[in-house]
Amino acid sequence: MKRWLKFLLWGGGLVAVLMIAAGIAVRFYFNEARLRALLLPPVRAALGREVDISSISIDLFRGIKIGGFTVKETDGKADFIKVKELGLSYSLLPLLEKRLEIGRVWLENPTVNVWRNRDGSFNFSDLKMLRPEPGNITGDNQTKVATPDNPAAKALPLALVVQRCDITGATVTFVDKLKELPNVNLTADLNTKLDLGNLKPESIKVVGKLEFKLQAEYKSLTPGAVGTIEFDRRKIVYKVDIKQKNEACTLSGSLSDYLAAIPKLVLNIDSQRLDLAYLAGLGQQLSATGPAAEKPVSAKAGKPGSAVRAASPSSPQLKARGKIDIKQALYENYRVDNFFLHYDFDGVNLVISELAGKLADGLFAGAAVIKSLLKQPEFKGNFSLSELNLASLMTMAKPELKDSLSGTGAGEFIFSGRSGPGNTLQQSLSLDGKFSLRQAGMRKLPLTVALSQILSMPELADLQVDEFAGNLRIKKGQLKLNSSWHGDQLSGSAIGDIGLDGGLKLPVDLILSQNLSAKLAQRYAWVRETFNDKGEAEVSIYLNGTLSQPQLRLNNTKVTQRLQKKLEDKLLQKLGERLSDGESESAGETSTDKPEDILRNFLQKK
C-alpha cells in the first residue's frame, strides 16, 4: 500500500513539474514579439488593412489575452475596429473526456465605426475577406457547396463548450454621408453560454442575454430605444422601450421556434400616450424623403413602359398574436382612452377578437376578421357604442357644431366589405344595425332652421326630443334610414336614403304638439283638417339637398291623401248620422235634405 502511495505521489509530482515546465516553455517561446509575428501578418492579409496590438500574452493554464486590438481604415489612421481587451480562458482536464471547454471568451469595450460614402459604398466594402476568391466560384457564379469529403463539412472529433461569452461596453456607430439613412449610435452588453457540441446544428445549444441602447438621428427625428433580449435555441424574449420626443411605447413579446418553418411571434405594444397623427406624419415624411423607389422592370428590353406585373404576395411563413394597450390615443382632434386590441394572425386571417376603448365619455367595443392576403382584402365584424356624448363627439369631429348637437347615443352594428382601387370600399361596404339617441338637442342646425322657415315657426329652429331611434343600413354607397323620434314640441318619423356624400332623399312625417298645431292652423286653415284625435297636426314634408344645405318642401301627394281620407271619414260619419236620424222619424215626417246638400253643408266654410 505504501509503495502505491509513494508511486502516486512521485507520479503526481512529476506531472506537476512537467506542466510547470511546459508553462514556462510556452511563456518563453510564445513571447509577445513571437506572438505578434505569428498573429498579425495573417490577420492583416485577411482584412487587407493595417492591424495593431498593444499587448498580447499567453498562459498554458490561464489562456490568451490581447490588449489594444485595432483595425485601421484604408488611410491607416482612423480606427475602423477597436477593442480595449479581448481574451480566452480554457480548461485542460475536460480534454480527457473529449470535450474542449472554454471557460470564458470576452471582449471589453469593442468599438466599430461604419459609414456609407457619397458614392454609396461602405467603409468595409474593400475588406479583403469580403471579396470572392476566383478559386471559390464555379462557372455559374455559384459558391461551391461543402461535401462530406470536404473537411469543412466534417464534425469536430470532440465537443466544444463555451461556458461564458461576454461583450461589455460594445459601441457601433453608423454615419450616412448621403443622408438617406439615419445615423445610429448603438451600445450593448452581451452575455452568452454556448455549447457547440460537435458543430452539427442539432447539437448546438445557446443561451444568452443582450442589453442595448440605441440612438438615431434622421433630419429632425431623434428616436431612441433601450431594450433587453434573452434567447436560447428555441425562443427569443424581448422588451424594447422606444421614444421619439414626447411619443413613447414599449414593444414586448417573444419569437418561438424561430429556426422552424413557421415561427411564432408574440408582439405587444403598450403606451401611456401616443399621437397617431404625429406618427403618421413621420411615416409620410420618411417615405417621401427616403431612397428613391426602384423603377419597374420593363417586360421586354427596348419597350419602356411595359412594366412587369408584380407577383401576388405569397403567404408569409409566420404566425403572430399579441395586444395593443394605449392609455391615451390621439388623432388630430380625436381622443380615445384605454384603447385595447387583441389580435391573432394565423398566416392567412387577421382576427381581432377584442377591441375596446372610451370615446366621447362613452364606450365602444368590437371584433373583426380580415383576410389580408387577398388581392382585394375582405373584412367583416361588429361593434357597439354606449353612453356616447354627442356634444363631446362634435367637439372632436366638428368643433363648429359642438354647441348645436347634444344627447347620449348608443348602437349595435355589423359590417363587411373589401378594399381595393377606386371606390371599391365605398361600393362594397355593408353595415346594418340599430341606434338610439336620448335627450337629443338640435340648435340652429341648417335642417332645423329650414324646417322653421317652411312652417313659419321660429321655435322649431331649436329642437329637443326625448328619444331618437331606429335602424340604418349602408349598402352600395347609400344609407337606408328607418327612424322615429318623440319630443314635447315635435315627434315624427323618417324613412329614406342618405348618401355617404351627405345627399338627402328623405320623406319625413311630422307630428306637432297641440300648442304648435293650433298656431299653425291659425296661419293655414287646411292644417286643422290634418289634426289627429289628440289635436296634433300631422304634416308630411320631403327632404332633399344635403345635410349642410337641406331643401324642404311639403309632400303634396301625402298631404292631399291625408286630407282626402279625413274628408271621407267625416263624410261617412255625417251620412251615417243623417241616415240614423231618418230611420227614427215617423213615417209621415220625411227629410227634405238631399245627399248633395249634406255634402255641400259639410264642405261649406264655417
**198 within 8 A of 205, measured Cβ to Cβ:** no
Rounded-to-integer distance, Cα 409 and Cα 447, Å: 20
Are 187 and 128 a contacting pair, CB within 8 Å? no
The model's pLDDT over 243-279, given as tens digits with 9 standing for 90+, comes to 998 899 999 999 998 888 889 999 999 999 999 888 8
C-alpha cell at 242: 422606444
Give the tens place of pLDDT for each residue, 343-373: 999 988 999 999 999 999 999 999 999 998 7
| C-alpha to C-alpha distance for 295 and 308, rounded to whole angstroms | 11
> b/e per residue, 13-46, with b = 16+ CB within 10 A?
eeeeeeeeeeeeeeeeebeeeebeeebeeeebee
| Mean pLDDT computed over every residue of the chain | 80
490, 510 contact by CB (below 8 A): yes
Interatomic CA distance for residues 197 and 97, integer angstroms: 13
pLDDT at 36: 78
Rounded CA separation 102/162 (Å): 5
Q: Spell out the residues 6+ positions from residue 98 whose beta carbon is closer than 8 angstroms to its own.
A: 157, 158, 159
Positive or negative CA dihedral for 250, 256, 259, 260?
negative
Encode pLDDT of 205-244 as tens digits.
Answer: 889 999 999 999 988 889 999 999 999 988 999 999 999 9
pLDDT value, residue 261: 85
Burial of residue 228, with CB atoms counted within 10 A of its CB: 0-12 exposed, 13-18 middle, 19 or more buried: middle
pLDDT for 422: 81
**What global pTM score does this model have?**
0.76
Per-residue 3-state assignment (H helix, E strand, C coil) for 338-384: EEEEEEEECCCEEEEEEEEEEECCEEEEEEEEEECCCCCCEEEEEEE
Q: Pull the grid cell for residue 396.
A: 372632436
According to the model, what pLDDT value does residue 132 have?
67
Residue 153 confidence (pLDDT):
43
Return the HEC string of 53-100: CCEEEEECCCEEEEEEEEEECCCCCCEEEEEEEEEEEEECHHHHHCEE
Burial of 9 (0-12, 13-18, 19+ CB in 10 A): exposed
Which residue ranges of the chain lie beneath pLDDT 50?
Answer: 14-18, 21-26, 28-29, 137-154, 156, 292-313, 586-588, 596, 599, 603-606
Give CA angle at 604 (601, 606), nearest 5°: 110
What local confidence, expressed as pLDDT, does residue 580 receive? 64
